Amino acid sequence: MARNTHAVIVGGGTSKFGVREATLFDMVQEAAKACSDDIPALKPRDIDGLLFCSTKVGRHSNALNTAPLIAHRLGLKPTSICTRLDTLCAGSNTGIILAKGLVESGIAEVVLVTGAEKSYLPQRWETNYTELAVNDHDWDSAMGLGVPPPFFAMIAKMHMKRYGTTKEQMAHVSVANYNYGSTNPKAHFYPKTLTMEEALEARLIADPFGLFDCCPLTDGASAVIIASEERAREMSERPLVYIRGTGQHATHSMSAGWPGETLAEWPHLKKAAEVAYKNARVTPKDIDVAQVHDCFTISEIIEMEELGFCEKGEGGAYVASGALNLGGKRPINTDGGLISCGHPFGASGARQSLELCKQLQGRAINQAKNPKFALAHNLSGACAQHTVVIYGTEPVE
């Protein structure tokens, strides 16, 4: 086993995201094939660890001990780790954090982190029922807050009241992300672009959110390879992308335990980011490109603030300034984000991290200019948990 090494993300792949007739296992195989195509020298026998990330799999596939089933379907025989994990929206970025620890401790050398969700079922009520189950059953879900739009609409109203954020500013997030996603063939809404007029005139979902302020329910799978430097060099001649630092902070399970003064403040994200920045030995100013959790447009605005990309309360003006775009201060969600790609919970984090891997290797479709540091962020549940992963072209020494 490799010891005293740095963990790197080598490459990966995704299935097509969207409304799929395929089963969850079909989509995992599709993502794994795309991963294999991205890393041609990778062989199934090279992979000694498997982390499968999914939230809905137990209810929606009738498969509970899923990791061994995935291993068998992919022709893998893991010897270091083979398990499923669930941190909802952060599933596969949590898997990347654990894979980093496994590799750097010497327990594993090459770990496949894959995530998938099958959201679209013959009876749609089943998906809505499952959505209610991701939050506290006794309190929030009973009050209708288990389904995300009402809860995040309250967050948006509070941010608008406190900081003057506008629907027009939120629309800038929708437009930027749809336009990025229009170049991503794997995105749920590919090849759709969006205008400000379309965003502002869309039908109301939960005031103040229109249709394009919200990410969709999505079927999909993603897969990435995390490995030691030595094994990565054997598999690929592309520049190494190091997992420099991580942070994950959970403070509550129900809205009554909210850690901030108001819903417009997300101190748990700020803390997760502080930990990740410290471990990565960087500051917010060093981040050149990022993937953040745009489940709703207001989420991306608040994340700009709590990640330190702008001052608190200035997120609306920041996104409206063009900072999110290529050529802007810091390109964000360059493959379309959740709003355009869609959001199959367990698959989103690895999709984000794969895009950042491509950015730092200089091979993304919407390529930022010479990025050196990149950041991935997920929130989970009723904004109860935040996960941050920071990548770089050089290791932390």
pLDDT above 50 for 294? yes
The pLDDT > 90 percentage for the chain reads 85
Measure CA 182 to chain center: 18
Q: Which amino acid is at 281?
A: R
* pLDDT greater at residue 158 or residue 129: 158
Question: What local confidence, expressed as pLDDT, does residue 128 receive?
Answer: 73
pLDDT digit string (tens) for 91-111?
A: 999 999 999 999 999 999 999
Classify residue 287 by its DSSP letter: -
Classify residue 214 by its DSSP letter: B
Write down which residue in 235, 266, 285 finishes a domain. 235
> Is residue 285 situated within a structural domain?
yes
Query: If you search the block for the tokens 């000694």, which residue do you land on?
Result: 48
pLDDT above 70 for 163? yes
- Same domain flag for 55 and 158: no
- Same domain flag for 171 and 83: no
- Same domain flag for 205 and 301: yes
Alpha helices in the chain (DSSP H): 24-38, 57-60, 66-74, 91-105, 125-132, 148-163, 167-181, 196-201, 229-235, 267-280, 297-306, 315-320, 337-341, 345-361
pLDDT above 70 for 350? yes
CB 368 within 8 A of CB 180: no
Strands (E) located in 187-281: 204-206, 209-210, 220-228, 242-250
- Same domain flag for 145 and 271: yes
- Same domain flag for 172 and 305: yes
- Residue in 179, 222, 257 with CA at minimum distance from that of residue 349: 222
- Same domain flag for 207 and 341: yes
Q: Please report, for the domain that includes residue 57, its CATH number.
A: 3.40.47.10
- Same domain flag for 159 and 293: yes
- My answer on whether omega of the bond before 191 falls inside 30° of 0, hence cis, is yes
pLDDT above 60 for 291? yes
When the pLDDT of each residue in the chain is averaged and rounded to a whole number, the result is: 94
> Is residue 51 situated within a structural domain?
yes
- Residue in 123, 117, 98, 150 with CA at minimum distance from that of residue 295: 150
Question: What local confidence, expressed as pLDDT, does residue 146 receive?
Answer: 66
Write down which residue in 235, 269, 286 finishes a domain. 235
> Is residue 129 situated within a structural domain?
no
Write down which residue in 235, 264, 286 finishes a domain. 235
pLDDT above 90 for 316? yes
Domain count, the chain: 2
Question: What local confidence, expressed as pLDDT, does residue 2 receive?
Answer: 42
- Same domain flag for 31 and 151: no
- Same domain flag for 94 and 202: no
> Is residue 1 situated within a structural domain?
no
Q: In what order do the strands lie in the sheet with 289-291?
A: 81-85, 49-53, 110-117, 220-228, 7-14, 242-250, 385-392, 373-380, 289-291
Q: H or E segment at 9?
A: strand 7-14
> Is residue 128 situated within a structural domain?
no
Question: What local confidence, expressed as pLDDT, does residue 63 receive?
Answer: 77
Segment 122-140 shows an average pLDDT of: 74
The pTM for the full model equals 0.96
Question: What local confidence, expressed as pLDDT, does residue 13 receive?
Answer: 98
> Is residue 330 situated within a structural domain?
yes
Segment 106-130 shows an average pLDDT of: 87
The CA distance from 223 to 71, in Å, is 13
> Is residue 100 situated within a structural domain?
yes
Q: How confident is the model at residue 191 (pLDDT cuts 50, 70, 90)?
A: very high
Q: What are phi and psi of 252, to 5 degrees?
A: -165, 170
Q: How confident is the model at residue 147 (pLDDT cuts 50, 70, 90)?
A: low
The pLDDT > 70 percentage for the chain reads 98
**Domain with 378 in it:** 135-216+244-392
Segment 130-145 shows an average pLDDT of: 75
The CA distance from 79 to 88, in Å, is 26
- Say which range, 74-78, 134-138, 167-171, 189-193, has the weakest mean pLDDT: 134-138
* pLDDT greater at residue 234 or residue 135: 234
- Same domain flag for 176 and 163: yes
- Same domain flag for 298 and 336: yes
The CA distance from 287 to 225, in Å, is 23
- Same domain flag for 86 and 12: yes
pLDDT above 80 for 137? no
CB 110 within 8 A of CB 225: yes
The CA distance from 103 to 120, in Å, is 35
Q: Which residues are bridge partners to 246 per DSSP?
A: 389
Question: What local confidence, expressed as pLDDT, does residue 395 receive?
Answer: 97
Question: What local confidence, expressed as pLDDT, does residue 131 receive?
Answer: 74
CB 387 within 8 A of CB 291: no
> Is residue 323 situated within a structural domain?
yes
CB 184 within 8 A of CB 336: yes
Query: If you search the block for the tokens 């620890």, which residue do you land on?
Result: 101
